[in-house]
Amino acid sequence: MEGNPGHLHQESHVYSSQDLPQVLVLEPPPILKHYSGYFSDKFDLLKAWESSLPLNQFLATHARSARALLSPGRYPLTADILQLLPSLKLIVTTSVGLNHIDLPECRRRGIAIADAGNVYNADVADLAVGLLIDVWRKISGADGYVRRGLWATNGGFPLGSKLGGKRVGIVGLGSIGLEVAKRLEVFGCEILYNSRKKKPFVSYPYYSNVCDLASEADVLIICCGLSDQTRNMINKPVMKALGKKGVIVNVGRGRIINEKELVQFLVEGEIGGAGLDVFENEPLVPQELFTLQNVVLSPHMAMFTPESLWSICEVLVGNLENFFSNKPLISQVMDV
């Protein structure tokens, strides 16, 4: 969807909150920091974090009226939470991943789920490639070297590696993984991939086993979602297969990598470097990583640009408006 994030169209009508459809929000999504007025003009937002009541009491107060819930993708929507909301019929999440939602409970209850759709794909792919270039060309390290005055006293900085010709293993060739592949092909990289199943529409070499992919790749870029099957999937055997010059970039979820083992491999020089936008216990980051020159860190921001925030705003509002108007959702998750 297109829009101008700097110039929101405001409706001229003024409604009281009693006239507006109610939407439950357990904690504030980043989008509300930027466009709260756009939402409050259209919906009566029931903001749990602003209430003096304990969460269970707050939910009990609105149990009968709350038919839609806006989720920022962090607060776990467990079966226990969902059971406190018997009238709930829709969850709209600002994320692409659904690991924070109890999907079996939603299926059992017939609760529809709408996600962010394809809004974030290009932005996440851009940052994945940016992290990879930064690690291989040592951009952040070189920047610090110059700023500390070491260029004048110590001379040249250690050389980085070229991007062209590298074998890039993409873990999760979904919509984001395909965007990453498209960008890196332009740089002359060879694309390999692992996914739940082989993709019939691409010619890239497919590896059903991540260890086998790692053994053939110079870098692994993690683009898959978090599930029981992918949790700690990037572990010691995979890193060993990747080798001492190998690089890991993660724009998926922190828990896809065994973080303790990753830190150990990086500290001991058993892999070549890492570019990390996500971590196991955000916002906590292992302090051992802070001093490593071959590691580039980012605060889970791959999906966020002014353009993507505006687009997700349109998607969220569109889904909610369609729901309350009994129209099809814009980005319904079809397998839920």
Q: Domains in the chain: how many in total?
A: 2
- The answer to whether residues 148 and 266 belong to one domain is yes
pLDDT for the residue 336: 54
Q: Catalytic residue among 27, 50, 185, 282, which?
A: 282
Residue 268 forms part of a structural domain: yes
Q: Are residues 129 and 254 in the same domain?
A: yes
Shared domain for 103 and 181, answered yes or no, is no
Give the CA angle between residues 239, 240, 246 to the nearest 5°.
60
Low-confidence ranges of the chain (pLDDT < 70): 1-18, 334-336
Q: How far is CA 141 from the centre of its chain?
A: 25
Q: What is the pLDDT of residue 73?
A: 74
**Rounded alpha-carbon distances, angstroms, from residue 305 to 74, 102, 126, 186, 255:** 19, 29, 11, 23, 24
> What pLDDT is stored for residue 15 in this prediction?
42
Rounded Cα–Cα distance for residues 160 and 16 (Å)? 60
The active-site residue, picked from 179, 253, 259, 261, is: 253
Given the residues 67, 300, 307, 314, select the one marked as catalytic: 300
Domain of 288, in residue numbers: 121-297
CATH of residue 245's domain is 3.40.50.720
Q: How high is the pLDDT of residue 18?
A: 59
Mention every residue, 6+ apart, whose C-beta is less than 8 A from residue 297.
276, 285, 289, 290
Indicate if 224 and 189 belong to the same structural domain. Answer: yes
pLDDT of residue 11: 39
197 and 315: one domain? no
The set of long-range contacts for 89-94, using a CB threshold of 8 Å and a minimum separation of 24, is 89/323, 90/114, 90/319, 90/320, 90/323, 90/329, 92/68, 92/316, 92/319, 92/320, 92/323, 94/29, 94/30, 94/31, 94/70, 94/312, 94/316
**300 tagged catalytic:** yes
Largest interatomic CA distance in the chain: 70
Same domain, 153 and 258: yes
Identify whether 253 is a catalytic site residue. yes
Is 89 in the same domain as 196? Answer: no
Residue 289 inside a domain? The answer is: yes
Strand order in the sheet with 44-47: 44-47, 22-25, 68-71, 90-93, 112-114
pLDDT confidence of residue 334: 52
Establish if 6 belongs to a structural domain.
no
